[in-house]
């Protein structure tokens, strides 16, 4: 993959949530919401405090989905990132 985000944007691959709850209840695919965290794959040179490989948390309706080489990614503005998980 060769994608360089422009402006203050980052490219994120969503991290899938657990398929069952802590009590063992299996959540069907049609009841799951889109994950609101992901791993950064590419970062613009204008973005500070976020690096490739960081796990970031973002709003449920943030960003623009794009497909690259058959994989779905999310392009986010830096302002849409709520925080970095350490």
Over residues 32-55, the pLDDT tens digits come to 556 689 999 999 999 999 999 999
Instruction: Report pLDDT for 25.
Output: 73
Whether the Cβ atoms of residue 79 and residue 62 lie closer than 8 Å to each other: no
pLDDT tens, residue order, the chain (86 aa): 789 999 999 999 998 766 666 777 776 655 555 668 999 999 999 999 999 999 999 998 899 999 999 999 999 999 999 999 98
- Structural domains of the chain, ranges and CATH numbers in brackets: 9-85 (2.30.33.40)
Model pTM score: 0.79
What lies within 8 Å, CB to CB, of 1 at 6+ separation is 41, 68, 69, 71
């Amino acid at each position: 993959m060769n994608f360089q985000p422009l402006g203050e944007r980052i490219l994120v691959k969503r991290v899938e949530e657990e398929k069952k709850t802590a009590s063992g209840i299996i959540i069907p695919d049609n009841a799951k919401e889109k994950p609101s965290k992901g791993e950064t794959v590419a970062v613009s040179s204008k973005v500070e405090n976020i690096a490739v490989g960081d796990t970031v948390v973002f709003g449920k309706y943030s960003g623009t989905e794009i497909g690259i080489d058959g994989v779905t990614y999310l392009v986010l503005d830096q302002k849409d990132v709520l925080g970095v998980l350490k």
